[in-house]
Amino acid sequence: MDKFTRLTGVAAPLPQINVDTDMIIPKQFLKTIQRSGLGKNLFDEMRYDDDGNEIPDFVLNKPAYREAQILVAGENFGCGSSREHAPWALLDFGIRCVIAPSFADIFFNNCFKNGILPIVLPQEDVDKLMDDAERGANAVVTVDLESQTIMGPDGGTIAFEVDAFRKHCLLNGLDDIGLTLEKAAAIDGFEAAAAQARPWV
C-alpha cells in the first residue's frame, strides 16, 4: 500500500448527500477481484449516458477535475452495501482523500485499509472546502496527515482528527498484510520454538 504523508492536488466538489457504494461503483462491475481497472467506471451512472458517452456536466468529466485527487462530498458518503470495490475504484481513478461531514462505517474502514484518507469535518468546514473546490483548476488543496491539517487555495488551514493507529498505518503504507509482516521475526521465532518443543506436530 502506498504511503500517505502529504497530498497536494485538485479537489473536486460532489455536494450530494447519501452517495452510496452502488453509485460509486455499480454492481455490474463487481465481478473482478483486481483492484486496478475500476477507475474508468467510478460513478459510472453519473459519468456516462446510456450510450456510454460522457455526461459533460458531471464534475469528474470537466477538464479541471479529470486529475482530481481529493473529493469533497456530502454527508453519509459511502452508505449502502459493504463492497470494497468502492475504495478500489476511487483509488484507481486517483482519489487519495475524501472529505465529508460523515461516512458509512464500513466504507470508512475500507478506505484506511486501501490507502485512502477519509476525513470527517463539521458541515461548516466542508462547506468552505466545497466552495474552494468550485474553483476548478485553481481548487488546489493540501492535506498534511502528519500535522493533521488541510490548507485551502487561499492558505487558510483546517485541522482534522484521525485515529492514531490508522494514522500510523497510512503514514507507513501498512495494510493488514503489512502489519502482519512487521511481526515476521516474532512469528518465525515462535514457530521455531514451537517446532523444537513439539517436533511431532
Please identify, in words, the CATH class of the domain defined by 6-196: alpha beta
Binned at pLDDT 50, 70 and 90, residue 179 comes out as low
Tens of pLDDT, residues 124-169: 999 999 999 999 988 899 999 999 999 999 999 999 999 999 999 9
Binned at pLDDT 50, 70 and 90, residue 183 comes out as low
Residue closest to 7 by CA, chosen among 171, 145, 159, 154: 145
Least confident of 29-43, 67-81, 85-99, 114-128: 29-43
Q: Residue 189: what pLDDT? A: 74
Tens of pLDDT, residues 47-75: 999 999 999 999 999 999 999 999 999 99
* Cα 20 from chain centre: 14
Measured CA to CA in angstroms, residue 91 lies from 39, 123, 135, 163, 188 at distances of 7, 24, 23, 21, 34
Record the cell numbers describing residue 195, joined without a space. Answer: 517446532
Record the cell numbers describing residue 44, joined without a space. Answer: 459510472
pLDDT at 14 over 70: yes
